[in-house]
Structure 1
Amino acid sequence: MSDQLTLSRRSFIAASLAGGTALTLDASVVLAAATATAPADVLNVFVRINADNTVTIGAKNPEIGQGVKVMLPMLIAEEMDIAWEQVRIEQTDANEKIYGVQTAGGSTATPRNWLPMRQVGAAARAMLVSAAAKKWGVDPASLTTARGAVIQPSSGKSLTYASLARAAAAETPPDLAKVQLKDEKTFTIIGKSKPGVDVPKIVKGEPLYGIDTSLPGMVHAAIVKCPSHGGTVASFDDAAAKAIPGVLGVVAVNSGFVPQGKSDTVVVIADSWWKASKAREKLAVKWDDAAVTGFSTAKYEADAAKIVDNAPQASLFKVGDPDATLAKAAKVVKADYEYPFLAHASLEPQNCTAMFQNGKLEIWAPSQAPAGGREETAKLCGLNADDLTIHLTRIGGGFGRRLMNDYMVIAGQVAKAMPGKPVKVLYDRTDDFRHDFYRPAGWHRFTAGLDANGALIALKDHFVTFGADGKPIRAAQMAPSEFPAPIVPNVDLGASYMATNLATGWLRAPTSNAMSFVWQSFMDEVAEVAGLDLPEFMRRTLGAPREIPGERVKFHTGRARGVIDAVCKSAGWQGRKKGRGFGFYFSHLGYFAEIVDLSMKDGNIQIDKVWVAGDIGAHVINPINALNQAQGCVIDGIGQALVGQKIVQENGAITAENFGDFALMRIDAAPREIVVEFVKTDFPPTGLGEPALPPVIPALANAIYSLTGKRHRRLPLEMI
């Protein structure tokens, strides 16, 4: 990928040497400093070698359940040549000047860090070997390493990494781009299952998440936001709220969603969150919201129905002459599809703890994009970005929600208004549902043309969604390379945009979670008209193995064919069968094909089994986590598609208050079995947080059609 992490030699040795001999820990090193009883040497910003020959490795990216807190240290440990039982893992702080990109989004952690983190480990190993070679007066090339020791094969002598760490830290770090990496055939950690480092704490319910943050003297804050998104504070009367014992203050702030200089959130601070929450009921707030109360789900649907009948406002991709081709096509297939706004429904509500003192702001945040939060918070607090210290906490769900940092922005401003006191801002469940950054709704009008042999020769889509100034708003995009557009000779993809007051954002498998449903469900319709099942129609459409240029990445038809063939073989697919559906999708650099089997019980549809085949390259770094991610994606995708997963808006405001208004996946609705297979190919490894999710949605919809004869062209699906 073009945005692959690049670490400089300078950042690699941010733990610097004083006078070239004594190791000095500077303030930029987040790994805990050595104590008198447990001395340790920081070899670089990611590695600390402890006196007992264990190695503490810093996990730099936010952990939201995707397993990156184990995966990244695995890469370093592999190249350091230490045993996994020697590894201790610590979460680093957020500081991209030291650690490079620190985000959890887009399944980018693996492709960005596959080489850089291995280079970090290999460089540390090289420094240790060099130190041992000098101690013995031998050529470094004559030495080997194993299980945290440097070995001289000719004499059988060995030195532990702990005994060499101080001397190794004095070595000049090698050029990371030229450091020698291990032969992949000799891997002992990569490709072996390693459990999540936080699992014991999660099982025991020990403090771990942002919501668990507790600091001496901490006070608590509850929020009141304008019900209609985009409304601002006109005035407020806080006398009744402040009269409640334990209430410490009331402050109006900007969540980052409205122009600077405006306020859209009133915050009550008290000595307990319960008091703050009860006191906010006493606030009398007048909102300036006349411009944002006219938006509603009903209006969107009515407007979309009119817009889709007209020509698209913008062209996304056009090749050939689809209209002329359709006029001469042997068969023409038409269908309209749609999907609603969705919320993230995070199990851990949004929260952030902040403390302002001496002109500096310290933050404890469950953020997927802390660098963005740093910039936004600094701007609205009138600080320099370097004045912020951000401690990363584990994130309790809501894939994509924590890419938006409104909770950090609010906490920073509140803390600045209460200097010297740590302040925890906590949304309640209703706050979370009504002030989310929603997956945008969309409407599609498809037309496809087939020749006499059933080949797809023309394709059109008028996509109606939300935008301004002729461009889509955040997360409302459709890629011009949406499959199968790049390999059809005559294509016209167009889009039209409506206004909305809602804040929008990325939901797990952003855009793909919606596009997979409409495109693969429609392709199933087209395949049926062609007299084929969807896998065979896909094979014929894909054609010979080759790379197809895309907007940002290339699409490999051979890799797509590989997972289609694999899942069909695994599931014993033999053409269309009642209660069975298929779906394929390429997203976040991963190729996935899935088959869903359904049955009817007591008049209700139940999901019996799901087969998954995925191609994420040559290496599955942590197999047990890869299995968990694929299975979790399947369950999450089914949840996105189910009845109840729909956000409704009235008078500019969201109506949902709690999970009773937005049904989540329940255990009795989950598949009885999910079978996962990885097809290894000779390509660099890619991520797994998202690409297994999109195909299950159309596979489920297509399975419902095959079971009931009813074609579902809108989400959520009816499972009855």
Structure 2
Amino acid sequence: MRNSETLAGGPQLGRRSFLKASAVAGGGLALSMSIPIASRAMAQGGPAELNAFITIHPDNTITIIGKNPEIGQGIKTMLPMLIAEELDADWDSISILQGDTDAAKYGLQLAGGSFATPMNWMPMRQTGAAARAMLIQAAALRWGVDPASLRTEPNLVVDPASGRSATYGELASEAATVAVPDPATLTLKDAADFRIIGRPIGGIDSPKIVRGEPIFGVDTQLPGMIYAAYERSRVFGAKLVSANLDAAKAAPGVIDAFVVEGNGNAEELVDGVAILASNWWLANKAREKLEINWDNGEWADHSTARYAETARELMAAGEPQEVFATKGDVDGALASAAQVLEAEYHYPFLAHVPMEPMNCTALLREDGIMEMWAPSQTPQGGLQAVAGYLGVAPDKVIVHITRMGGGFGRRLTNDYMVQVAAIAKQVPGTPVQLIWSREDDVRTDFYRPAGWHKLRAGLDEAGELVSWDDHFITFDIGGGAFNPAVMSAEEFPAKYVSNLRYAQTKMRTAVPMGALRAPTSNAMAFVMQSFLDEVAHAAGKDLPTLLLQIVEGEQAEPTTMGFAGPQVGFDPGRLRAVTHKVLEMAKWGQPVADGHALGFGYYYSHQGYFAEVVEVSLSDRNQVEVHNVWTAGDVGSQIINPYGAMNQAEGAIIDGLGQALSLAVEIEGGATKQSNFHNYQLPRMPMVPQIHVEFVLSDNPPTGLGEPALPPVIPALTNALFALTGKRVRSLPIDTSLFA
């Protein structure tokens, strides 16, 4: 009997999907498929071409393609686990290969938004189940028995009645000739029978990383390769007027230097000078000899201080440009409230700074193909951008996906790919590797936007929240489908307050902005959960009690179709479950050590529900010391790879603590003031607390884990500091002079 509950959990292969079997050289089976929802996204309504995910070799080994980019989130291991589970494969017999960029074969190839799990939970499993059914059919034909009488063991089809068995490798060539089953007829495993899903499995590339093997983009080596550095203006939006390149060309090891004209799109190519040399160090050093005249235009006087001053003026004026969410009578409810709270909150620009700086290798081949080796989170977008810049058809660009040394959203933007394509086209037949310096990486980012909020909340005589008002000062970043500088009209607690107004005013800027791990949520959680803690304190409650009261009696919202398939509506019951769980874990309400205090934070983002408690103290020098973080998360019915899940939750928490304690990008003279790790200090091992993670399983399809654990740790920390000191942290990063 088909597991109908599981089949309802996310995108599936349907009758319009395609599965195809073919024999491989030397014998064996290759199974191809298309993922309908992803191929629609990339092929604009047309079906995707067939693609091979599984190859079964005669020696009973199996190769599975990892289609999505790997940035350290474990997707290269996790997606093949889904296929291997339903294939009933022996995990030790499997090798995993990274697929190249190909929307027609693989559907959407993306590392971002915590989309991989919800988009692939069913299609990857159905692919494995189809191969298993074909192997059973091949064995049934060989033995002249009913396929229903056969079963499988790891890499083996077994006939219980006769005791006969055959390995997958022995059956593979025959399986390639049988009819491919309709995905709707497949029988998927019950969760109780999982052997691979739910098993802690180390990252498939981890041994290679430990051994120092060359698997990252920056490790790419090609015969005859030369190296490039790219000099841009530090002022955002500047134009190149003139450049004297003679001294740079004369520098040791330099092969050439030339001006590259931008295309007016900061996400693709800005004006600059490329320097080519026999090694990257020499190319980078030669930049110091360039004499460039830049037109900085109107942006040269922009600064963090100016933005902050303008934001204060706009908040004081009280007239927002736009009201984007409203219900009830906010002003009337505030006027009649027994108690009105007001507060202003601020958070800064943030940089991504993955350990591996931006880099890409490109070769313009003799046949006119631009071949690239790219550590990109959106390689298909990069391919399209390069093709557009070069003015060629997309099939004239080949992009090999390399492993990435982190991304956190920075590699969603492919400017470095277009840069190296612009350089490589000037030296056809010669491979070019462009590497950014750390200073390039910090100063030429697509930053998490800064923001300012003026909040008001009204309480009635019973201490109930009756009104909520937020005037949000943010930035206008121009067009585009995704704007990380805005907030949702449904930002919690919008749905549960009778009188609400969300308004915003946008400032102009040339500072490039983009998605950073848990985009938007990483800022909004700090603001909303911190102010809710203020409301709770004023009402004589703690924050978890207030949250539980706000959603008391509220029911789950209906499921809708979203980008990643069925989008399960917000469920207050899941909020309650993770809240109760983390309070139990942290022994909330019980005494803590002298000089210590606990704070609570909750947030729902990227379909994940997380509640967290932070334990803090202050050192003799008033430095914040975080001792413990307890986190309870609900990301659905199944934790696919517990190792990967723990890594993602712990890493997100450390990221969030780092953002709260020390990180800020400042703008001076239209440029980024920070330049390297000495003045943009990421979390170090000594500041990492004990992190305790537990997952609350719920009757929902599994969702992603790359992001949702980050947002609540920031307000949990700042709320803990209030509990400890009585001082409110309303601006990030935390200024410890507040506690003096």
Correspondence for 1:596 among 588, 591, 614: 614
Correspondence for 2:691 among 654, 674, 681: 674
Change (3 A) 1:260 1:274: closer
Return the letter of the residue paired with 1:715.
L
Correspondence for 2:403 among 390, 394, 398: 394
Distance 1:258 1:569 in 2: 51
Distance 1:180 1:255 in 2: 54
Check the 8 A contact 1:230/1:258 in 2, yes or no: no
What residue number does 2:335 align with?
A: 327
Report which stretch shifted further, 624-633 or 493-502: 624-633
Distance 1:98 1:317 in 2: 41
1:121-160 to structure 2, matched below 5 A, reads 121-160=128-167
How many residues are aligned here? Answer: 701
Distance 2:338 2:694 in 1: 38
Check the 8 A contact 2:30/2:176 in 1, yes or no: no
Return the letter of the residue paired with 1:679.
V
Correspondence for 1:479 among 482, 488, 502: 488
Instruction: Give per-residue Cα distances to partners, 1:301-331, cap 9 Å, x unaligned.
Output: 1110111122211122111111111111111
Return the letter of the residue paired with 1:236.
A
Return the letter of the residue paired with 1:355.
L
Instruction: Give per-residue Cα distances to partners, 1:194-223, cap 9 Å, x unaligned.
Output: 011111121222211111111111110001
What residue number does 1:656 align with?
A: 674
Check the 8 A contact 2:267/2:414 in 1, yes or no: no
**What's the secondary structure of 2:425's corresponding residue?**
helix
**What's the secondary structure of 2:678's corresponding residue?**
helix
Return the letter of the residue paired with 2:392.
L
Check the 8 A contact 2:10/2:121 in 1, yes or no: no
Distance 2:456 2:610 in 1: 25
Change (3 A) 1:381 1:475: same
Return the letter of the residue paired with 1:346.
P
What residue number does 2:432 align with?
A: 423
Task: Kindly state the Cα deviation for residue 628 of structure 1 after the two structures are TM-superposed.
Answer: 1.4
What residue number does 1:40 align with?
A: none
Distance 1:260 1:490 in 2: 40
Report which stretch shifted further, 156-165 or 256-265: 256-265
Task: Kindly state the Cα deviation for residue 503 of structure 1 after the two structures are TM-superposed.
Answer: 0.8
Task: Kindly state the Cα deviation for residue 274 of structure 1 after the two structures are TM-superposed.
Answer: 1.5
Return the letter of the residue paired with 2:314.
I
Distance 2:411 2:600 in 1: 32
What residue number does 2:660 align with?
A: 641
Distance 2:670 2:436 in 1: 20
Task: Kindly state the Cα deviation for residue 345 of structure 1 after the two structures are TM-superposed.
Answer: 1.4
Change (3 A) 1:4 1:226: farther
Structure 1 residue 573 and structure 2 residue 582: aligned? no
Task: Kindly state the Cα deviation for residue 605 of structure 1 after the two structures are TM-superposed.
Answer: 2.6
What residue number does 1:225 align with?
A: 232
Check the 8 A contact 2:30/2:53 in 1, yes or no: no
Distance 2:31 2:572 in 1: 51
Check the 8 A contact 1:11/1:98 in 2, yes or no: no
Check the 8 A contact 1:378/1:385 in 2, yes or no: yes
What residue number does 2:443 align with?
A: 434
What residue number does 1:350 align with?
A: 358
Distance 2:17 2:482 in 1: 39
Return the letter of the residue paired with 2:460.
D
Task: Kindly state the Cα deviation for residue 7 of structure 1 after the two structures are TM-superposed.
Answer: 8.2
Distance 2:546 2:245 in 1: 65
Change (3 A) 1:693 1:647: same
**What's the secondary structure of 2:360's corresponding residue?**
strand
What residue number does 1:39 align with?
A: none
Change (3 A) 1:485 1:564: same
Task: Kindly state the Cα deviation for residue 545 of structure 1 after the two structures are TM-superposed.
Answer: 4.7
Distance 1:22 1:149 in 2: 14
1:70-89 to structure 2, matched below 5 A, reads 70-89=77-96
Distance 2:617 2:223 in 1: 56
Report which stretch shifted further, 206-215 or 680-689: 206-215
Distance 2:448 2:528 in 1: 17
Check the 8 A contact 1:564/1:613 in 2, yes or no: yes
Distance 1:699 1:23 in 2: 52
1:178-257 to structure 2, matched below 5 A, reads 178-253=185-260
Distance 1:57 1:687 in 2: 21
Check the 8 A contact 1:256/1:409 in 2, yes or no: no
What residue number does 2:455 align with?
A: 446
1:457-496 to structure 2, matched below 5 A, reads 457-467=466-476, 474-496=483-505
Task: Kindly state the Cα deviation for residue 600 of structure 1 after the two structures are TM-superposed.
Answer: 2.9
Give the CA RMSD over aligned residues: 2.5
Distance 2:559 2:323 in 1: 16
Task: Kindly state the Cα deviation for residue 415 of structure 1 after the two structures are TM-superposed.
Answer: 1.4
Return the letter of the residue paired with 1:565.
H
Task: Kindly state the Cα deviation for residue 263 of structure 1 after the two structures are TM-superposed.
Answer: 4.8
Report which stretch shifted further, 2-11 or 652-661: 2-11
Distance 2:11 2:85 in 1: 20
Distance 1:545 1:123 in 2: 41
Change (3 A) 1:139 1:326: same
What residue number does 1:38 align with?
A: none
Change (3 A) 1:545 1:618: farther
User: What is the TM-score when the length of structure 2 is the normalising length?
Assistant: 0.90
What residue number does 1:411 align with?
A: 420
Aligned identity (percent) is 49
**What's the secondary structure of 2:142's corresponding residue?**
helix
Check the 8 A contact 1:9/1:175 in 2, yes or no: no
**What's the secondary structure of 1:555's corresponding residue?**
coil
Distance 1:571 1:676 in 2: 11
Distance 1:696 1:568 in 2: 14
What residue number does 2:38 align with?
A: none
Structure 1 residue 165 and structure 2 residue 172: aligned? yes
Task: Kindly state the Cα deviation for residue 259 of structure 1 after the two structures are TM-superposed.
Answer: 7.7
Structure 1 residue 688 and structure 2 residue 705: aligned? yes
Correspondence for 2:310 among 282, 303, 311: 303
Structure 1 residue 555 and structure 2 residue 570: aligned? yes
**What's the secondary structure of 1:58's corresponding residue?**
strand
Correspondence for 1:503 among 484, 496, 512: 512
Task: Kindly state the Cα deviation for residue 102 of structure 1 after the two structures are TM-superposed.
Answer: 0.7
Structure 1 residue 630 and structure 2 residue 649: aligned? yes
Structure 2: where are the runs of 5+ without partners? 1-7, 35-49
Task: Kindly state the Cα deviation for residue 296 of structure 1 after the two structures are TM-superposed.
Answer: 1.0
What residue number does 1:616 align with?
A: 635
What residue number does 1:34 align with?
A: none
Check the 8 A contact 1:75/1:118 in 2, yes or no: yes
Report which stretch shifted further, 45-54 or 494-503: 45-54
Structure 1 residue 60 and structure 2 residue 77: aligned? no
**What's the secondary structure of 1:547's corresponding residue?**
coil
**What's the secondary structure of 1:227's corresponding residue?**
coil
**What's the secondary structure of 2:694's corresponding residue?**
strand
Structure 1 residue 711 and structure 2 residue 700: aligned? no
